[in-house]
Structure 1
Amino acid sequence: MTKNLEKAWSRVEKKRSHKLRNSLLVVAGAGGVAAVAVPLRRRFARAGLPKVGLGGTSPRTIEESIEVGVPVSTAYNQWTQFEDFPLFMEGVDHVQQLDDTRLHWVATIAGKTAEWDAKILEQHPDRQISWISEDGKKTRGTVTFEPRSDSRTLVRLTMSYQAEGPAEALGSAAGLDARRIRGDLERFKELVESRGSETDGWRGEVSAGKKTS
């Protein structure tokens, strides 16, 4: 079924070019990652792609990981440099830190500007950052940092969001969302390894959405 869905998506892209590409934008939210899932069902309708019986309101979960060639503290500290996210997060134009637990995001999605806030729920240096977007979708996610050696770290990203209707479900089933996330992680790997060291990483603690240290 997944292969058939990918073929269907390919036919749509040939007709509509970049306007019909998956618009799941994965961005780091408040020290972690937040996602804005732009509804795809309108685009599929314009292209004449039939509904395939997928969808509903069931949560969709995506998990991707990548091993980076830097110590865990370097990987973690680089991730907390929020203003650098446009360097590796596709579509992100600007990130502004509002306070210790909230960030404001500006991104270009399908040729249009979108803005939203995200809030850190948990942040523990060299271990974990969890967040929730403050838009209506309430996208949740967690990024963890696991040392593999003194000079290597496994970065694992887990996202959970609601697929709104058949089109978003189709994108998820065809693996398009996961590929978008994977691309951002690969660019993060290139960035952190090319720098070799981080600067000004924030190492405060956040629990239950509140700064504790």
Structure 2
Amino acid sequence: MSTVKESVDVDVPLHAAYNHWRTSVGGVSREFDTEIVDQLPDERIAWRTVDGDVDQKGVVTFRSIDDVHTRVSLAMEFQPEGLAEKAGSAMGRVDRRVKGDLRRFKDFVEERGRAEGGRRGRITPG
């Protein structure tokens, strides 16, 4: 398994950052299903793959820095498949992709500046 960890500070309140969160996987095009295994509004969302040819799990956490700034942190584990993916993982390609995605998230959420609707209920492990 390979692990990637990245964080970004965004200039919006925690509630706004949490309600904008979405995930996508770039690079090799594959289809897979995930399930949310833990969700605590304004704190964290954890997921794992349930089928398809991707083995991945992760968690994104949201921490208030102050009333108008939030730290968004992502930790993800995945199993690279094939020589190209293993080489790309070893060279830091996934880390750079995640860092770029977090920068794009920062730009998006700061431009929007307000919370959008989202599922805010509690999901518990098990």
Bucket of the pairwise TM-score, normalised by the shorter protein:
0.7 to 0.9
Gaps of 5+ in 1: 1-58, 92-108
1:70 matched residue in structure 2:
12
For the 8 Å contact 1:68–1:153, the answer to whether it is kept is yes
Q: 1:90 to 1:158 in 2, by over 3 A?
A: closer
1:158 aligns with 2:75: yes
CA distance in 2, matches of 1:177, 1:205: 30
Aligned-partner residue type, residue 181 of structure 1: V
Max Rg structure: 1
Give 2:41's match in structure 1, choosing from 91, 115, 125: 125
- 1:206, 1:74 → 2: CA distance? 19
Matched-pair contact (CA < 8 Å) for 1:90–1:184 = no
TM-score normalised over the length of structure 1: 0.54
1:15-164 pair list within 5 angstroms: 59-79=1-21, 114-134=30-50, 135-164=52-81
Counterpart pick for 1:171 among 76, 81, 88:
88
State the alpha-carbon separation in 2 of the partners of residues 153 and 60 from structure 1: 27
The ranges of structure 1 where at least 4 consecutive aligned residues each deviate by more than 3 angstroms after the TM superposition are none
Give the superposition deviation at 1:159: 0.8
Which of 94, 108, 122 is equivalent to 1:191? 108
How many residue pairs match? The answer is 125
Deviation at 1:200, TM superposition (A): 1.4
Distance 1:144 1:198 in 2: 17
Percent pairwise identity: 42
Could you tell me which amino acid in structure 2 is paired with residue 177 of structure 1? V
CA contact (8 A) 1:71 1:152 kept: yes
* Larger RCO, structures 1/2 (Cα 8 Å, 6+ apart): 2
List runs of 5+ in structure 2 lacking aligned partners: none
- TM-score normalized with structure 2 length: 0.87
